[in-house]
Amino acid sequence: MHRIPMHESKCRAFHGHRYAAEITCLAPLDSLGRVVDFGVVKQLVGGWIDQHWDHTAILMEGDPEAGPIAEANARLGRPVYWMKTHPTAENVVAELAEIAQKLLAETGVKVVSIRLWETPNGSAEWRLAQD
């Protein structure tokens, strides 16, 4: 669940999405001919998503309407994930990219892009800046 405070349309109300993320990693191929075992990405990044974003609310710090949602989630044992920015698809995918890079750093792979699908026909993409 999220909302975009001050949005000019219906996204200013609390609503949910069925997000899906596609992560692209880069590294030299290992002896098996792969960049990374998909299970490692699922365990590290997917595990983080399950713990912090699944069945919860992604809200902007200071959102004046968020109090009852945060209180209900706390009472029901689920966190609210507080962002410093509006939780748009663009900002959420940038947040995920920062987190995924940290989580996968020790594996030797570099996260080069993430596409976050908010709806089946709407997505935002983050790409690693070229050096």
DSSP track, the chain: -B--TT-SSGGGS-B----EEEEEEE----TTS-SS-HHHHIIIIIHHHHHHTTTSEEEETT-TT-HHHHHHHHHTT--EEEESS---HHHHHHHHHHHHHHHHGGGT-EEEEEEEEEETTEEEEEEPPP-
Q: CA torsion, points 5, 7, 11, 12, in degrees to nearest 10?
A: 40
Catalytic one of 11, 17, 90, 125? 11
Domain 10-127 class? alpha beta
2 catalytically annotated: no
17 catalytically annotated: no
Catalytic one of 2, 25, 86, 118? 118
Q: What's the pLDDT score for residue 131?
A: 65
25 catalytically annotated: no
Q: What's the pLDDT score for residue 130?
A: 79
One pLDDT digit (tens) per residue for the chain, 131 residues: 999 999 999 999 999 999 999 999 999 999 999 999 999 999 999 999 999 999 999 999 999 999 999 999 999 999 999 999 999 999 999 999 999 999 999 999 999 999 999 999 999 999 999 76
Q: Which pTM value belongs to this model?
A: 0.94
Catalytic one of 7, 15, 52, 55? 55
